[in-house]
Amino acid sequence: MKNKKSITKFVEKETLSDRHLYEAVNLGGQTPILQWYTTNFGLPDIHRLGTHNIEEIVKEYKDKSFCSIKNIHSKKDTFTPYVKEMNFLLDDTGIVMNIYEGGLLDENNKPIGDIKIFYKSKQHNIDKLILSLRKHIYKKDGKSNLSIVCRNQNGLYTQEFKIKEPIIDFKLNYNADFKAISDLIIEKLSVENSKGIVMLQGTPGTGKTTFVRHLINRLSKQIVYVPPDMAHELSSPHFIPFLMGIPNCILIIEDAENILMKREEGCNNQAVSNLLNITDGLLSDCLNIQVVCTANFPLSGIDSALLRKGRLIAKYEFKELTEDRARLLAKKLNVQLSSKATLAEIYNSLEMGFTDKRTPVGFNIEEN
């Protein structure tokens, strides 16, 4: 093994010209750290961990790391001086922690930023490293937080948004049996380091998404939203390592039909297996993640293993409002109602063309 002095000299050697650095950072080319890693260790696997408290990580790993990689974009960018990257070589076999500081600050004016691990999957096991970084995950103090799962060329990551809280009158907007279920769901999802799954089923327009927006604003835990077009990622081999970076969160999967259907009916078997492990398998004891799924098809079509006692926190089927509830809501909105109707049908009954703006049913997000 190379000693620390020789490896430090090796990694501090200037490997990129200033012009090459400019082109890589500003013209969409490979980042210098990726080029440096590929040159010295080969093409890496990259694991993205999301937003962390930068000062805490630098303080802990500055002395623990094998050495700090210098002259490889560990200086401020001339054109965006608030952007800074730091890289730590954690051992001489090629585990590199990349810290990207983009000028964001937490509530105490401390820097926060994204963490990426460069490694070789056939050579390195980074599970312990991921677990050790858990304590440095950035969490907003007492505020709702929605992180949307995204993918780029480096893999899965999260983008944070704020969700406006809907004004809900449970006596008007939902049937009489739902308030008790709502209170139970909020109580169970508020428990730290817990597990389990919530199933919300109903035809479009019955209020599922509006209730999910309500949940997001009633819970202090990190909320991670999986868009419908990303649900297939649950079957990806990279999804479980991604979840290891966001423990003790609540995973919301909307329109989850394709990953909830009975396995014998040809759905995504690996996605169902991962859900089973996350919600009450061995992984659940490590990750402590709770899952909220919404679906438009009947509960009878869901894989029975997902509905077993011990795994299932709660289930509810959203239906049309009963006649008495529908009449009360219609009277308040001053609309005509001839029969039972869904929440969306009542609220949108006065829609006239494209210029009559009304409060939408669904997510209304503002980017931080």
332 and 216 part of one domain: yes
Percent of the chain with pLDDT over 90: 17
Q: What is the pLDDT of residue 342?
A: 85
38 and 58 part of one domain: yes
220 and 294 part of one domain: yes
Range(s) of the domain holding residue 360: 142-368
Mean pLDDT of all residues belonging to the chain: 77
314 and 280 part of one domain: yes
48 and 85 part of one domain: yes
40 and 99 part of one domain: yes
Output the domain CATH number for residue 179.
Answer: 3.40.50.300
Number of separate domains in the chain: 2
93 and 146 part of one domain: no
What digits encode the pLDDT tens for the residues 251-287?
999 988 878 876 665 555 788 888 888 888 888 888 8
26 and 154 part of one domain: no
For residues 183-187, give the mean pLDDT: 93
What digits encode the pLDDT tens for the residues 82-104?
567 788 888 888 898 988 876 67
What digits encode the pLDDT tens for the residues 188-201?
999 888 999 999 99
| Backbone torsions φ then ψ of 348, nearest 5 degrees | -100, 10
191 and 126 part of one domain: no
* Total Cβ atoms within 10 A of residue 247: 16
Q: What is the pLDDT of residue 351?
A: 63
Q: What is the pLDDT of residue 3?
A: 41
* Domain stop point among 138, 157, 192: 138
Q: Which of 8-17, 161-170, 220-229, 301-310 has the lowest mean pLDDT?
A: 8-17
240 and 159 part of one domain: yes
16 and 104 part of one domain: yes
Sheet holding 84-91, edge to edge: 45-53, 111-119, 95-105, 84-91, 67-68
| Backbone torsions φ then ψ of 354, nearest 5 degrees | -105, 0
Separation of alpha carbons 206 and 200, rounded Å:
11
148 and 134 part of one domain: no
* Domain stop point among 138, 162, 197: 138
Which residues have a Cβ under 8 Å from the Cβ of 342 and sit 6 or more positions away? 203, 204, 205, 206, 207, 320, 321
* Domain stop point among 106, 121, 138: 138
pLDDT higher for 321 or 86?
Answer: 321
Separation of alpha carbons 341 and 280, rounded Å:
37
